[in-house]
Structure 1
Amino acid sequence: MLPKIDAVIKIGGSAVTNKSEKETLKPGPLQKAAECIRQCHDSGITCVVVHGAGSFGHHHAREFKINKGLPIALSGKDRREKILGYSLTRQSVQKLNQVLVNALLELGVPAIAFSPGDSWLLQQRELVRGPTETVGRLLKHGFVPVLHGDLCMDDILGFSILSGDTVIKKLCSSFDVKRVVFLTDVCGIYDRPPSEPDAQFLPSICVRADGTVTAGIKTSQSQNDVTGGILLKLNTAFDIVKQSEGRCPVFVCAVDSSDAPVVISTSDVDSRNVHCTKISMLT
């Protein structure tokens, strides 16, 4: 039997950092996220936190073209610069991880940093080894593991980027996850970027058995996002719902919403009563 997780909580990089400015926090939303997790932990919710890199990591990754890997033919100064870029990118992501862990610790949450880049392995950007045994042991003893998008060794490319959304999919395949909650900088999913005129909020999205969905959604991506933007997040959500055959719904809500703790801690959320988007199986 798979170990149980009540909620996997994804804190979006855009929600707690200013992606347009390198290594710049949004202190208010970050504190809101930490407080939300505290409330859930204090109420007995077993949770794992995963956060995006936001402005911690994406700028370095773009500058050093990290997602192109480490070409075998690269040598001399170019190779040294690429390796330095890898180190700087990982250090930047771990800075944000430590900030979030510290915020949780200050609230009395027994958070433990867990960086996938230390042991997870990719092959041509696809995850081939994602050992989660340590996550299970931490949960067993009452800790709150805090994972993140990271840089990992890649058997083909030398190294490449592992997105936080892929981390979530791995957790959902390794544990009995009751729900996944994305805390973002907007209140849920819209049929187009919410900055566009006439964007319509979608309180619910249903996933069919073949993986298609009942809503038409137009997406966009930040120029500083090197991991796929909102499209990858949506596809991750749809895959989780499909692979769990509807047992694990996905919710998207604003990080600073008073409804966020309710969405995380309540098994059967009615999206008509809380302001969020619920992604579930079409029945």
Structure 2
Amino acid sequence: MEIRCIVKMGGAAITCKNELERINEENLDAVSSQLRQAMIPCSASVKTVGMDWSKRPGISEDVSSTLDDFCGDHTLNLLSNKFVVVHGAGSFGHFQASKSGVHKGGLDRPLVKAGFVATRISVTTLNLKIVRALAREGIPSIGMSPFACGWSTSKRNIASADLSMVAKAIESGFVPVLHGDAVFDEVQGCTILSGDVIIRHLAVLLKPEYVVFLTDVLGVYDCPPTVPDSVLLREIAVDEGGNWSVVKPTLRNMNKQVEITVAAHDTTGGMAAKISEAAMIAKHGIDVYIVKAATNHSLRALSGDLRGNIPDDWLGTIVRLTR
């Protein structure tokens, strides 16, 4: 089964991370449109037929007229590139998980058990919203929760991950949409399985041509991008052991550690975890592009235009195996 790309929609890119359970509608719509262009290269010349036939607040739509469009040619017939989408939680789920301590385990405690329920309500709500946004772009997306698919961990590392339904969905022409989730843990009872860990596991098993991390900044910086004179890291080289180092640009102080900040409510490790997981993917020979969502740079990454030499006018971070 040939997979072209696995995409990670960063929670900070598609939600307003400092506002509880608020989606960045503009970014989500733009990302969904770019995914359609990447999955269906000829989609610009064919009418997009939406697949979200449910009501939306404040929007009046005639579903019956949409049904008639399926009688002729449409984008479903042109879906040639197989993609898998994984998304983070952003302002959905992190608050509930951090306040209740779900990531630390202890399902015997009432607060943790309640938090487990609340976290899953929140992240599955976001998953449905993303699936609907993709469906409106004519992408046959199917939401797939790791918990419901039987995924579990042991000491927060994946212990069981049944990919049979994911594989079946891909083979049937669907686009699986997975997400970070609250799951059972064999040692501590429960924990949070992050989208970054999920995407690494999927990449190793499905072996896509490339992986794209969509974020809310241009890529990885040597320090938080809000700091004056912060430097965008253009290329990170990874060896076969998963160790990584900055190749481009040459930093002023090569002994300086790359500084990473993590939001107080983020239970999944923030950007530090993303770099680590990206390195674990790249060591298998799979290029990883970390790029700002809803930009021309992200469209080029999603479309596969960056394989080989990276154009000087592309802004983002590539993480790849040292060759």
Using the size of structure 2 for normalisation, the TM-score is 0.81
Q: Amino acid of the residue matched to residue 123 of structure 2? A: V
Is 2:228 the partner of 1:197?
A: yes
What does 1:1-283 correspond to in 2, within 5 Å? 3-43=1-41, 44-70=80-106, 74=108, 79-118=109-148, 119-215=150-246, 216-242=257-283, 244=284, 246=285, 248-266=286-304, 268=307, 270-283=310-323
The Cα of 1:56 is off from its aligned counterpart by 0.4
Does the 8 A contact of 1:187 with 1:257 survive in 2?
no
Equivalent residue of 2:245, what SS?
coil
Does the 8 A contact of 2:232 with 2:316 survive in 1?
no
CA-based RMSD of the aligned residues comes to: 1.4
The Cα of 1:271 is off from its aligned counterpart by 4.5
Compared with structure 1, are the counterparts of its residues 123 and 40 closer, same or farther at alpha carbon in structure 2 (3 Å cutoff)? same
* Cα distance in structure 2, aligned partners of 1:223 and 1:271: 36
Compared with structure 1, are the counterparts of its residues 271 and 132 closer, same or farther at alpha carbon in structure 2 (3 Å cutoff)? farther
The Cα of 1:4 is off from its aligned counterpart by 2.0
The percentage of aligned residue pairs carrying the same residue is 34
Does the 8 A contact of 1:19 with 1:224 survive in 2?
no
The structure having more radius of gyration, on CA atoms, is 2
Equivalent residue of 1:168, what SS?
helix
Equivalent residue of 1:10, what SS?
strand
Equivalent residue of 1:45, what SS?
coil
* Cα distance in structure 1, aligned partners of 2:110 and 2:100: 11
* Cα distance in structure 2, aligned partners of 1:196 and 1:207: 26
Does the 8 A contact of 2:234 with 2:315 survive in 1?
yes
Paired residues in the alignment total 272
Unaligned runs of 5+ in 2: 42-79, 247-256
Equivalent residue of 1:252, what SS?
strand
The structure 1 segments of at least 4 consecutive aligned residues displaced by more than 6 Å after TM superposition are: none
Compared with structure 1, are the counterparts of its residues 228 and 271 closer, same or farther at alpha carbon in structure 2 (3 Å cutoff)? farther
* Cα distance in structure 2, aligned partners of 1:214 and 1:234: 11
Does the 8 A contact of 2:220 with 2:290 survive in 1?
yes
Q: Amino acid of the residue matched to residue 91 of structure 2? A: S
* Cα distance in structure 1, aligned partners of 2:197 and 2:312: 29
Unaligned runs of 5+ in 1: none
* Cα distance in structure 1, aligned partners of 2:278 and 2:236: 10
The Cα of 1:169 is off from its aligned counterpart by 1.2
* Cα distance in structure 1, aligned partners of 2:265 and 2:189: 23
Does the 8 A contact of 2:152 with 2:158 survive in 1?
yes
